[in-house]
Each structure stands twice: as C-alpha cells, then as structure tokens.
Amino acid sequence: MDLSDRPARLDVGVVGAGRVGSALGAALAQAGHRIVAASGVSDASRRRAVERLGVTEIVRPEEVVEAAGLVLLTVPDDVLPGLVSGLVATGVNVRGKLLVHCSGAYGLAVFDPATQAGALPLALHPVMTFTGRDDDLRRLTGCFFGVTAPDPLRPVAEALVIEMGGEPSWIEEKDRALYHAALASAANHMVTLVAESEQLLERIGVEHPGRMLGPLLGAALDNALRLGMAGLTGPVVRGDAGTVRKHVDALILAAPEAADAYVALARLTADRALAAGLLKPEQAERLLDALGGNRWT
C-alpha cells in the first residue's frame, strides 16, 4: 500500500477491551497509532487493557470517546445499540470522531444516533475467532474483514484493515445479517458438531476421539474449500439410504437432540448434492424417505 494512502496516526480508544477489542487495539498500536484510553467491565477485560494495550487506568466509555479520535466499540452484539445511544445521551462530543464496531451482524444503521451527532461510522468485522490467547494478534495477518462504510470513508476503512494486517472485503449494508449468518453457521456449528462427535466416540470407548477425527476433518475441510460440493464424500452422496437410516436410529437411542441436527443436515446435504448433479433423483428420494420416515417423539 502506498504510504500516501495511510491514515494519519490516530489516538485510539477501546470501549470493551475483551478478546476482540484488545487484539485489534494492539494491531493498531503496532501500525503506529496510539492507544490513549480503554474501558472494560470484567476482570479479564481490564487485565487485557493493561497487558495488551498498555493503558494504566480503566475509564468510563464516555471518557474513552473524549480522549480518542478513533473509538473501537468492541462489545457484544446485543449491547451495541444501547451503548451507542447511551454515549450520545451523555452529551459526549462525537463530532468528527471515527466510531468503529466489529459486529458481523450490524452495519451502519446501529450508529444512527451517533451519526446524526456528527460521528463517522465504520463497520469492520474480522472473519476470525478470538480466544484471548497471545496468538490472536498473529491470526489477524491475512484475515478477511467484512467492511461497511459510507462511500467517502471507504478508503479510510480499507486502509485501517490493511494496517491491521487484514484484507478488506466490501459488504453492503443490506447484506450484513446474511453475511454473518454464513460465517457463524460454518465456524460456530462446526465446533458444536465436532464436540458432539467426540462425545459420541467417547461413549463407545474411543480413547482419543480428537486424534481419530483430526485427519478426517482436516481432509474434509481441505476438500470443501478447494472443491466445494465436488469434495463431498460419505453415505449421502453415495445414496446409501440404509446406512443413513441406521445412523438416525442409533442417534435416536444415544443422543436424540443430535438426531434432529443429523436429519436436518443430511437433508440439506442431499438437496445440494442433487442440485450439483452428484446424486440421482431416485437416490435422493430414498434418502429423504429414510430421513423422514418413522419420526420419533
């Protein structure tokens, strides 16, 4: 990136110095910006503010806004609307300040009270999972960010993402919810499915279920990312309705709550395999019958 495109060095404040806020704040500091203030509620957030961001005092959110020219509002999604309206209600001057949230589901509308008061809104969502460990900052390198901003601020938003080591990807305001649903479905549900599989394997005496699943899941993820549906393997794409029914019956007995998820995902898999020409219509019909017959209570 041309140095002339770099935003001026900014005084940065972090409201909510949790896993995400502390990582992004540290990344901005590495890029040469100055962390001037931070707020946090939990003990863990306060500790990260000191250790990662180098602040010496935890202050109130409105004091963070007063001190900074760029403010990261890195709080849980459900808290964000109330935080924005609450900050404006305090009378703190937001005019000309860059307010940045990192929510995937929200776009710019959540900033409306602050925007009307003169704030400059940016939605910069890192497509990454944060654990609070030291490798969070390293994971930002090459990480995509879902970016939504007013057109005049788009260059600033994209430059900030690049400075943090990320890659900006433009998301229209109207598409934010669907964008985030796609990401959450892939990442969050994958964790649940793997944990459920590990538990089922433990139940039948497998000593190291994670080690058993690791090579299989690594290959499956690689196939999915490289080949899409063409990388699908297993009984559904083979049309093995009898095997699928055995799976359902076993799950009904062992983990009824997992059986519902299995049926829903197998139906979706069959539909997508049929649409991709990987499954014949008669095979799909037998599969859907196996998945829908003899419903349990």
Contact, 87 vs 62, CB < 8 A? yes
Q: How confident is the model at residue 2 (pLDDT cuts 50, 70, 90)?
A: very low
Mean pLDDT, all residues of the chain: 93
Dihedral sign of CA atoms 137, 126, 32, 16 in order: negative
Taking every pair of C-alpha atoms in the chain, what is the biggest distance, in angstroms?
A: 68
pLDDT digits (tens, 9 = 90+) for 73-86: 999 999 999 999 99
Report which residue type is found at 248.
V
Residues paired with 14 in a beta bridge: 38, 72
The pTM of this model reads 0.87
Per-residue confidence (pLDDT) for residue 131, from 0 to 100? 84
What are the strands, taking DSSP E only, across the chain? 11-15, 34-39, 70-73, 98-101, 120-126, 144-148, 167-170
Structure-model confidence comparison of residues 294 and 191, the more confident one: 191
Mean pLDDT check: name the lowest of 2-6, 11-15, 275-279. 2-6
What would the pLDDT profile of 14-41 be if each residue is shown by its tens digit? 999 999 999 999 999 999 999 999 998 8
Provide the token pair at 265.
Answer: 């995902």
Identify the structural domains of the chain with CATH numbers, from first to last: 3-171 (3.40.50.720), 179-292 (1.10.1040)
Determine the residue type at 71. Answer: V
Does 3 have pLDDT greater than 60? no
pLDDT in tens, 87-146: 999 999 999 999 999 999 999 999 999 999 999 999 999 999 898 888 899 999 999 999
Can you give the C-alpha Rg of the chain in angstroms?
24
pLDDT tier at 230, thresholds 50, 70, 90: very high
CB burial of 34-63 (b: ≥16 within 10 Å; e: otherwise) equals: ebbbbbbeeeebbebbbebbebeebbebbb
Q: Which of 107, 111, 102 is nearest to 136 (CA)?
A: 102
Q: Extract the tokens encoding 67.
A: 């001190």
Express as a percent the part of the chain with pLDDT over 70. 96
- Do you know the residue count of the chain? 297
Please write the tens of the pLDDT for every residue from 249-276. 999 999 999 999 999 999 999 999 999 9
- Residue 6's pLDDT band, with cuts at 50, 70 and 90, is low
Residue 1 has pLDDT above 50, yes or no: no
> What pairs with residue 99 in β-bridges?
71, 121
